[in-house]
Structure 1
Amino acid sequence: MKFPPFLLLISVLLLNCENKDNQAPKRPVAKKTDTLHNIEESNQKKTDSVNTIQTQQPHQLILTSNALQAINKTTGSTSEIPFGKPFDEMNKIVTTILQSKPMVVGINAECGAGPLKMASWNNGLTLVFQKKEVQSVETESRWEFAGWYVSLNSGNTTKITTMAGIGIGSTRGEMESAYVIIVKKSSLGYEFSTTSGLFGIFDGMGKQAKITNIWSGVSCNFR
């Protein structure tokens, strides 16, 4: 069968285009598994800062308003340990950093904020946990990190402080050089507070008065 000349011309042009397309380098097609891997890798980077606290040493625990921080002594990097973490996770993290288990774990049912679960270490640190409802298939409750409290330690242990070096035994003068504070007399003693959420007690009014207690978040103080 004979084809008209214009049809033969179109056929040749289409064939040449097809050959060129076949010779052109192919773009790699992203696999779904690669995309998922990238997402998982990205998510992993976000959680590494907390997870590595549980596995790598050495770290130092630092006091901060409404949270704690862990400093990697080797790299100097910091990781925040925010309020809201469940008891088991917090217990594991802090036990790993301090290289010791809490001396006492118990529940105080007489606090103004309601029953509070507390875990205390021999360096004077007490973590405070408050029961919260968790929305799941069945509504349940769990103890979540809600505050910390530091008092005189019971032995010759490393003092835990803020990033500015303020802790038990620091003077009012040292505190005022690092923070803007308000001091008032109460039934607990000479209480101080900062706008960021640090609270504590001095053993006197003068510049040389020392901090005997310091806390942040939910507390169980009886005034």
Structure 2
Amino acid sequence: MARQLRAEQTRATIITAAADLFDRHGYESTSLSDIVEHAQVTKGALYFHFAAKEDLAHAIMELQSRAARQLAKEVDSRGHSSLEALMRITFGLARLSLEGPILRAGLRLATGGIPVKPPLRHPFTEWLEIASSRLLGAVKESDVHPDIDVDAIAHFLVSSFVGTRVVGRTVEPLARQPRRLAEMWHILVRGLVPVTRRARYVSLAARLERETGGA
């Protein structure tokens, strides 16, 4: 039992080290030797868990997917409106990115053309479905205009969400992401939400930014 626990801890250490390096330097620029050194493990320990760098990338994207699904499930269990749930999910993903490298690396891998191995689905496909289902709910709840193109808005939202991180990685600190998300939501709310309900969601965006701990 103790040996199994140590093996699990070693595997987690390797994944976290790889995610940190993939996020900071990119997948192609990171070698297995870099990961071994950063994780402070032996090459034998790394190869015991992962046969190749691609397997590490897949493990990171799998953890990213699991975290996103768990976050969406937790938010949905709290009884929020569909639009509030969608906003909370985006800020929740930002919070997870601030807390550790797994989601940051997963996003960089997803935007870097790293192939996703079945049965794992591409994260953007999952995020589009999360956005579409909540937007459909928001239409039924009269929180957004009934004549919107749900697929188009979901695509725009996911593209904007991803863009805040991709652009921000180069030009500003990671801690700025919640501010960028709040700005994104201010624009979306003003375009999607009827005037009588708009103030609630503009205020929510500002509150979620503060709760996420942005700079």
Does the pair score TM above 0.5?
no
Greater relative CO, 1 or 2 (CA 8 Å, sep 6+): 2
Higher strand residue share: 1
Structure of greater Rg: 1
Give the TM-score band, short-chain normalised: under 0.3
- Normalising by structure 2, what TM-score? 0.27
Higher helix residue share: 2
